[in-house]
Chains A and B, each alone.
Chain A
């Protein structure tokens, strides 16, 4: 069934994403936080998940990763076909680096 296949793919993507994130966080926390766009608390939580917890989180109908940016401008820069591709990429990287980190909210 098509629906089942999509759910399988979501689970798989979640699992790869979470495992990659964990590996990155354990290797170099600071660089991982920048690459993942997350703050310290989220990095701590993801970094300390057990394998069983990772699998549990991955097994859902929602993707655990979301798009990095919402600004139309960044999309435009990344997809532009202008001859100055280097400048556009630089511009996009700069705007993405300036975006705030995803933080855990303590209730």
Chain B
């Protein structure tokens, strides 16, 4: 089997980028033509440990809960901006949009609720027509929803923040900041 060295080099670069962003092995297997052995070696070299085992999260419901929905919607807004603006392989758009999303979270001291693996799944769910975005009637921002949900007068979780929103266990344990 004659394999192009250049395309293999490109795959290694892509796989390295993805591993650095914390991608699971399944993402690498799906997006590159590298063998599983090679990917495992690369993973260990980049992360210094073996990749986690187990199945990928497969449900679309996770993206509907309050905090994940907001993070996913921000990621998708960035993703579609880049996707609309230029011709680029889908996985490259995902990597760039994810870097920008992560940068936003880090700049503002937020948890990166959306992992690169989830972000990748999210885009695949869009491709499969299972998820889509709909504009909020309050702010005009676009938010991730189930495709067949009735979204005539959708109000987003940021215009209408639920009372328990953001009150995680971790938050409760943190010392209260002086007002």
Binding site for B on A (CB under 8 A): 28-31, 33-35, 39-40, 43, 71, 73, 83-84, 86-87, 89-91, 93-95, 97-98, 101
Contacts and interface: CB of A to CB of B under 8 A. Distances in A.
A33 B85 contact: yes
Contacts of B92: 30
B55 interface: no
Majority secondary structure, B binding face: helix
B100 A31 contact: yes
Given A90-B110, A97-B77, A97-B81, 14 more contacts: A30-B85, A30-B96, A31-B100, A33-B81, A34-B81, A34-B82, A40-B85, A40-B86, A87-B158, A87-B166, A90-B71, A94-B70, A94-B141, A94-B158
30 contacts: A29-B86, A30-B88, A31-B100, A33-B82, A33-B86, A34-B78, A34-B81, A34-B82, A34-B85, A34-B100, A84-B161, A86-B109, A86-B110, A86-B166, A87-B158, A87-B165, A87-B166, A89-B108, A90-B110, A90-B158, A91-B139, A91-B158, A93-B104, A94-B70, A94-B73, A94-B77, A94-B158, A95-B139, A95-B140, A98-B77
